[in-house]
Structure 1
Amino acid sequence: MLAVLLLPGALRAFLPALIGRSALAMGGLALLLAVEDSTGSYTQAGFATAAFGMANVVAAPWRARAVDRFGQRIALIAMASGQAAGFTALALSTETDRVADVWFLALSTVIGLTAPPLGAAMRMIWASLTTAGDQRTKAFSIDAVCEELLFVGGPVIITAVIVATSPGIGLRVTAAVVFLGTVAMTSSPSSGALRGTGRGVTRGDRPLRQPGFARVLTVLLGVGAVLGVAEIAAPAVAAQRDAAAASGWLLAAFAGGSAVGGLLYGQLNLKAGVGRRLFVLCVSMGLAAVLVSQLDPLGLFAAGLALVGLFLAPSLITGYLIADTIVPESSRTEASTWINTSVNLGASLASAAAGIVIDRSGAWLALLLVGAIALALAAAVPFGRLRESEPPAVHAPDRCELG
């Protein structure tokens, strides 16, 4: 699977893309700690974090459309510049006395609105460098695995920076990471070749207008819901057993399972169509959530979470492959972003509901219910539209076609 990294131009774009994408893994925690340190209020810090998250989700499709239209170099650098400026301004605000709380909310919103979709952009680069089929699946797999590892290591790194210096420095480091990573990625030849359409995408080419795509997003809502509940249930179960320190290990087991799943998925030579794969993965994830809801010993619960995570990265990879199959090339960055948005929305909604269920009945019921929901939503897989075993070949366009 690592052979895809040796493709001409791959590492030159992929490594700086990972650096830039780590800002998303670090930014939320840096923002939370900086606002709390300045205001002395976790409530205010929570509001700022929520403003950042909601703005990021709401603006995601429009940012992706801008990349499809204007090309990666112009659009992504503009967004990264805006987000870096937002992080820097927030750092200055948290270090200044008597700043009105509304400024923290406003700057957090700016940071969310301007987050560059580096993951979706990198998948477009992978699509231009690889041939459809096993090679592209391997590329998407290693991309997903590395992204999982970013979200394991990112919070640890930024916490260490903040402990050693200050929350304001943590925000400045995040600003530097997103800006420098984006500039380095977009200066690569493979990114620069994706210059965009130069015009708006026609209504008929929009991802949500492609037959079956909305149903795929519905299925992935269930995947996101399991993700959201698992992230709430893990610390709740640890606390119930007077083992709060085990929370990190439980979440690491979940993330580690996802990384292993992504690696295995990239190695398998699967013949089933992408629609059937998505159905099997989502059903398996739902069943695993139901199973883990019945596990009581902490060690078995950790193993169960790893089993649930095993299907997370492959489900996302399959979603990206489906987007590559049924969405016109002119709007594939937007399509990839919709995949992420659906999963994030499912996770956010489920996290809110899980807290209520856990307080009243325990984590086991939250996991049982979300497993059943994922199983029900898996029925939305559009088999009739996704019979082909692999997406059609998409060759890297000539430079003259991109002008």
Structure 2
Amino acid sequence: MLAVLLLPGALRAFLPALIGRSALAMGGLALLLAVQDSTGSYAQAGFATAAFGIANVVAAPWRARAVDRFGQRPALTTMAASQAATLIALALITASDGVAAIWFLVLSAVVGLTSPPLGAAMRMVWASLTTAGDQRTKAFSIDAICEDLLYVAGPVIITAVIVATSPGIGLWVTAAAVFLGTTAMTSSASSRTLRGTGGSGVRGDRPLRQPGFVRVLTVLLGVGCVLGVAEIAAPAVAAQHDAVSASGWLLAAFSGGSALGGFLYGQLNLKTGAAKRLFVLCIGMGLASVIVSQLDTLGLFAAGIALVGLFLTPSLVTGYLIADAIVPETSQTEASTWINTSLNLGASLGSAAAGIIIDRSGAWLALLLVGVIALALALASAVPFTQLRTMEPHADHTPDRCDQGG
């Protein structure tokens, strides 16, 4: 699987893209701690973080559409420069006294609005460097694994920076990461060649208008729900066993299972259609969640939550592959971003519902219900979803066509 990194131009774009993408992994925590330190209020910090998150999700399809239309270099560098400037402005006002609370919300929202879709853009680069099928699956898999690792390491790194310096410096570091990473990526030859449609695309090319694409999003919504519940249930189970310190290990087991699943998936040379694979993976994740809900001991729960995670990255990678196959080239970045948006929406809904259910009935019921929901969404979308000819006719598009991401 690592062989795809040796493709001409791959590392030159991929490494700086990871640096730029680390800003999203660090940004939420840096923003939270900086606003809290400045205002002395976790409520205010929470509102600022929510403004950042909501703005990021709402603007995602439009940012991706801009990349498809104008090309990677002009669109991404403009977004990165805007976000970096806003992060610096936020750092400056958090170091000032007497700043009105509204400014924290406004600037946090702008940080979210201007977040460049580097994951989607990098998947466009991968698609331009690889051939459809096994090679592209390996590329998307290693991309997803590295993104998982970013979200493990990012909060740790930014926390260390803030502890050693100050919360404001954390925002400066995040600004530097997004700007330097993005400009380095878009200056690579493989990114510069993705120039965009220049507005030549038509409304019929939009991802949501493609037959079967909404069904893909529906299935991934169930996967996201399981993700959101698992991230809340793990600390709750640890607390239930009077082992709060084990919370981090349980979440690490979940993330580790996801990374292992992505690695194994990238090694396999599967011949079944991507739509059928996504259906099977979502069914597997739902069943694993149901099984885990019945496990009592902490050790068994850790193994079970790792099993649930095993299906996460393969499901996401398969969603990207389907988007790559059924959505026209002119809307590829937007399509990949919709994949991420569906997963994130499911995770947000799952997290919100899990908190309520766990308070009243315990983590086991939350996991059981979300497992059933994931199974129901997969089954409801099964026909004619699994009959999608996802690796045809777009799979025969030329290897140098753009892919996308979110």
TM superposition score normalised by structure 2: 0.96
Alignment of 1:339-354 (within 5 A): 339-354=339-354
Q: C-alpha deviations, 1:159-207, integer Å up to 9, x for none?
A: 0000100000001000000000000000000000000011153110000
- The corresponding residue for 1:113 is 113
Q: Distance in 2 between matches of 1:179 and 1:283?
A: 40
Deviation, structure 1 residue 346: 0.5
1:385 pairs with one of 375, 385, 388: 388
Is residue 2:330 matched to residue 1:330? yes
Deviation, structure 1 residue 354: 0.8
C-alpha contact (below 8 Å) 1:273/1:389 kept by paired residues = no
Corresponding letter in the other structure for 1:250? L
SS in 2 for 1:199: coil
SS in 2 for 1:384: coil
- The corresponding residue for 2:292 is 292
Q: Distance in 1 between matches of 2:278 and 2:399?
A: 27
C-alpha contact (below 8 Å) 2:26/2:158 kept by paired residues = yes
Corresponding letter in the other structure for 1:215? R
Deviation, structure 1 residue 391: 5.6
C-alpha RMSD of the superposition:
1.4
C-alpha contact (below 8 Å) 1:223/1:343 kept by paired residues = yes
Deviation, structure 1 residue 299: 1.2
- The corresponding residue for 2:4 is 4
SS in 1 for 2:395: coil
Deviation, structure 1 residue 386: 3.3
Identity of aligned residues (%): 79
Deviation, structure 1 residue 390: 9.3
1:390/1:373 Cα in 2 relative to 1: closer, same or farther (>3 Å)?
farther
TM superposition score normalised by structure 1: 0.97
- The corresponding residue for 1:47 is 47
- The corresponding residue for 2:73 is 73
Alignment of 1:25-174 (within 5 A): 25-174=25-174
Alignment of 1:179-218 (within 5 A): 179-199=179-199, 201-218=201-218
C-alpha contact (below 8 Å) 2:127/2:401 kept by paired residues = no
C-alpha contact (below 8 Å) 2:325/2:390 kept by paired residues = no
C-alpha contact (below 8 Å) 2:72/2:192 kept by paired residues = yes
Q: Distance in 1 between matches of 2:282 and 2:66?
A: 31
Q: Distance in 1 between matches of 2:257 and 2:393?
A: 25
Q: Distance in 1 between matches of 2:301 and 2:28?
A: 27
Q: C-alpha deviations, 1:259-294, integer Å up to 9, x for none?
A: 000000000010110111001000000001111111
- The corresponding residue for 1:21 is 21
Corresponding letter in the other structure for 2:178? V
Corresponding letter in the other structure for 1:105? L
Count of equivalent residues: 399
C-alpha contact (below 8 Å) 2:76/2:117 kept by paired residues = yes
Unaligned 5+ runs, structure 2: none
Q: Distance in 1 between matches of 2:393 and 2:377?
A: 23
- The corresponding residue for 2:222 is 222
Corresponding letter in the other structure for 2:196? G
Q: Distance in 2 between matches of 1:181 and 1:223?
A: 30
Deviation, structure 1 residue 300: 1.0
- Runs of 4 or more above 6 Å deviation: none
Higher deviation after alignment, 139-148 or 193-202: 193-202
- The corresponding residue for 1:243 is 243
Q: C-alpha deviations, 1:63-105, integer Å up to 9, x for none?
A: 0000000000000000001111111111111111111111111
SS in 2 for 1:211: coil
Q: C-alpha deviations, 1:317-339, integer Å up to 9, x for none?
A: 00000001100001000000000
SS in 1 for 2:396: coil
Unaligned 5+ runs, structure 1: none
Alignment of 1:252-331 (within 5 A): 252-331=252-331
Corresponding letter in the other structure for 2:69? R
